[in-house]
Amino acid sequence: MLPHRRVYNEEHDQFRETVRRFAASKIAPDFARWEEAGIVDRKLWGAGGAAGLLCPQVPEEFGGAGGDFRHNAVVIEELSYSGFAGPATDFSVHNDVCCGYLLSYGTPEQKKKWLPRMVSGETVCAIAMTEPGTGSDLQGIRTRAVREGDEFVISGQKTFISNGQMCDLVIVVVRTAPEGGSRGMSLVLVETDRPGFRHGRNLEKLGHLSADTSELFFDAVRVPVSNLLGAEGGAMGALMSELPQERLTIALHSIAAAQKAFDLAKDYVQQRSAFGSPIGNFQNTRFKLADLKSDLAVGWAYADQCLHDHLKHELTTYAASTAKLWITEMHGRLVDQCLQFFGGYGFMREYEICRLYADARVLRIYGGTSEIMRELISRNL
């Protein structure tokens, strides 16, 4: 189970029990069906809102619980440890990424309109950065927003968008100036019921099967200029200020899922026998588990340090990148070894370790690849 950590207090521990009950009652009964369907039921969002799991950091004046980011972290950790990577990703994009941009850059009118709906689950939010020809290098985006009077006309295509099928509101990274590099990029809110917007296909993935991930198409979609989120031309600055939080959430997701894989393997090696003895009694097994346990201890300590710094508004791009790089890479090694303990059964999807293995792979990719993390860290040497 997840370790007790001093970064949390009694209020967060009580909230953790709420999330565990929610996972057991609202996700577990339908999870296998959602994995097969490639998407969760819409009812999950309403249930999440009713339970207080959506955007818990939103102030009370906008319908939220007025919590701190540790409440968000509890949701990430518990859903990830429960093995529900799809719903964990869906909620995290909505709670930790999209909501963060609205809180930091939304106008009073935008906050009043959208935050209560996001807290309740009435509105599901997505953020659209990646394009078919542009991954981590956001300066290469081609989606355009041309101003015509009091409107922006948006044309382009996005891909790999989490919540792409379910979303009602999308934060779209667009180019508002043909030149200017990063200074020509802006964030625009797009309601998905506007003419010209289209959800593309729900993409088939290696893991996170129940997390809908889609292409989005914008064919001369008109939105009012008041849908601009933050300053025109200010997208890159906004992204750079919010990405450390996103990378911290990925690190928390990763360390919790790694802990679950370790716990499953530790129990399994005492049940599986070879040559007349449980394989957990072999020195090779015990030493490997000792290494993995040590990796987890280091990972939890650094994740908690970053979480503590983030609460004090002191989390740097360097520290968040380090957390994402080391923890997700460690997670990959750990779950590979844990699957190995299961032998041939580990290759079967009916065993949870198989799903945990598949779900782990993307964490080294999204939110900035490991290679991009190394580039960012190297700039701070």
Whether 259 and 2 have beta carbons less than 8 Å apart is answered as yes
Same domain, residue pair 295 and 334: yes
Does 134 fall in a domain? yes
Same domain, residue pair 107 and 14: yes
* pLDDT confidence band for 29 (50 / 70 / 90): very high
pLDDT tens digits, one per residue of 66-96 = 999 999 999 999 999 999 999 999 999 999 9
Last residue of a domain, one of 74, 107, 123: 123
Q: Given the residues 191, 246, 314, 350, select the one marked as catalytic.
A: 246
37 burial via Cβ count (<10 Å: 0-12, 13-18, 19+): middle
As a whole number of angstroms, the distance between CA 168 and CA 48 comes to: 16
pLDDT at 138 over 80: no
* Token output for 365: 């990719």
Q: Which of 5-14, 36-45, 137-146, 279-288 has the lowest mean pLDDT?
A: 137-146
CATH of the domain at 350: 1.20.140.10
Whether 327 and 299 have beta carbons less than 8 Å apart is answered as yes
Same domain, residue pair 318 and 256: yes
Domain containing residue 134: 127-233
pLDDT tens digits, one per residue of 170-214 = 999 999 987 766 789 999 999 999 999 999 999 999 999 999 999
User: Where does 106-147 have alpha helices with state H?
Assistant: 108-120
Does 2 fall in a domain? no
Does 257 fall in a domain? yes
Same domain, residue pair 116 and 138: no
Average of per-residue pLDDT values in the chain:
95
User: Where does the chain have alpha helices with state H?
Assistant: 10-22, 31-37, 43-51, 69-81, 85-92, 99-105, 108-120, 235-268, 283-311, 317-341, 352-360, 370-378
* Token output for 42: 């819409």
As a whole number of angstroms, the distance between CA 36 and CA 270 comes to: 31
Same domain, residue pair 312 and 372: yes
Q: What is the pLDDT of residue 135?
A: 64
Active site residue 60: no
Has this prediction a pTM greater than 0.85? Answer: yes
Number of domains in the chain: 3
